[in-house]
Amino acid sequence: MSEEKLMSKKKPAYPVGKKLDAYLDRYNRKIEIPIFYEDLLRFSGSIAVEDEDGEDTLWVRVFYSEFEREEIDNSLKKVYSILLSDGGNNIFQYLNVDAVDFCTFGNSKPFRIKIRNILNDNFTYFYVKKTDASRIYGLELEHMLSPYNLNFLVYKDTLIEEHIAGIPGDTFIKDFLPTLSKPEKSQLAKEFVKFNERCMIRLLGDMRSYNYVIVPTHDFDHVVYRIRAIDFDQQCFEGKLKVYRPQFFKENFLMVELVRETLLKDSVNQYKIEERSIVAKRILSSGNRIKRLTSIVKSDQISLEENIEELKNHIHDLTLDLEFKKAKTMGQILALSLDFVRRNYEDVSMKQLIEKKF
């Protein structure tokens, strides 16, 4: 299916309501910061940022007037300290703002900030974006339901996100995938199946290859590859179920072929079951936190009526669970999806316990 037909028009940004704002405050996500997204838009000039091959990256490096530069630099250092340290100013003397880049592509149009430690030349990135309720739900769900913790802050209309390190999926597919050994390809195929399943369960859409990274980790005598989402703009918005399954994007065609070439159908099914079980365990271990989040999202407006109608029918056809037909909001569909996975896991676990006992 073509990209134009699979994805709808540009998603609007949804405001953070009082309940979500209180939730963010409760879990220390809401912290006062000294600079806003709108402040960074006051740049006086820019140049295109190119990659090593001289290709346009769709990022531009922005510059500020001498009058504003010192204030902006100090504010960005303060944000760095709040996000990644104790929030104090004592580390400012060791930090330098090497670059402020602005992305002209995509919904969020983020600023990417490069902070360098002048003592050892180590550097760190973080991102400044406009707040969007659906994106915040996506970040929180990733924090609770994926294998990875996420660090982000929200203050009024500004969202600060920690950088997620890894090799961009499109770069990896082009430059690294052909060089992998057979065992490495099989392991990566397994990870893609699990990533595909995890995105569908928690309704994270638009995982085209440039919206996730692949993280290689050395483990004894081999390398293990993991896949991490880096873009959460399309959490619970689209109506087509296929949007929430990375396998249906043309940019992931070679990853889908990798699964077909290296994994048997029974193995694919087993990895899907494994991922559902892991997500169910995370739902249970998250306790009141995920209960509070799903309670809030159920009453929030983060999609369009036509998308809600379309998606609930697609998921009903997949699960045959009539509760999905009753859903009135995208948040209710999400809550039902998570509950469906949890209940199935508990039912299987109880059955196995009974069989073992008798």
pLDDT digits (tens, 9 = 90+) for 34-44: 999 999 999 99
pLDDT for 352 equals: 56
pLDDT of 353 reads 40
- 71 pLDDT exceeds 90? yes
- My answer on whether 242 and 348 are in the same domain is yes
Domain that holds residue 86: 17-130
pLDDT at residue 6, as a whole number: 77
135 within some domain: no
Q: Is residue 146 part of a domain?
A: no
356 pLDDT exceeds 50?
A: no
Q: How far is residue 16's CA from residue 131's CA, in Å, rounded to a whole number?
A: 7
Q: Work out the percent of the chain whose per-residue pLDDT is above 70.
A: 95
CA distance 155 to 163: 18
Structural domain count of the chain: 2
- The reply to whether 347 and 264 lie within a common domain is yes
Provide the pLDDT for residue 58: 87
**Number of separate helices (H) and strands (E) present in the chain:** 12, 10
Looking at 103, 130, 157, the residue that finishes a domain is 130
Mean pLDDT of 85-106: 92
- What does 12-75 look like in DSSP terms, one character per residue? PPPPP-HHHHHHHHHTT-B---S--HHHHT--SEEEEEE-TTS-EEEEEEEE--HHHHHHHHHH
Do 187 and 290 belong to one domain?
Answer: yes
Q: pLDDT > 90: what percent of the chain?
A: 85
The answer as to whether 12 is a domain residue is no
Question: Does a structural domain hold residue 5?
Answer: no
Question: How much is the pTM?
Answer: 0.93
Residue 351's pLDDT band, with cuts at 50, 70 and 90, is: very low
Q: Does residue 50 form part of some domain? A: yes
The answer to the question of residue 214 being in a domain is yes
* Residue 11 resides in a domain: no
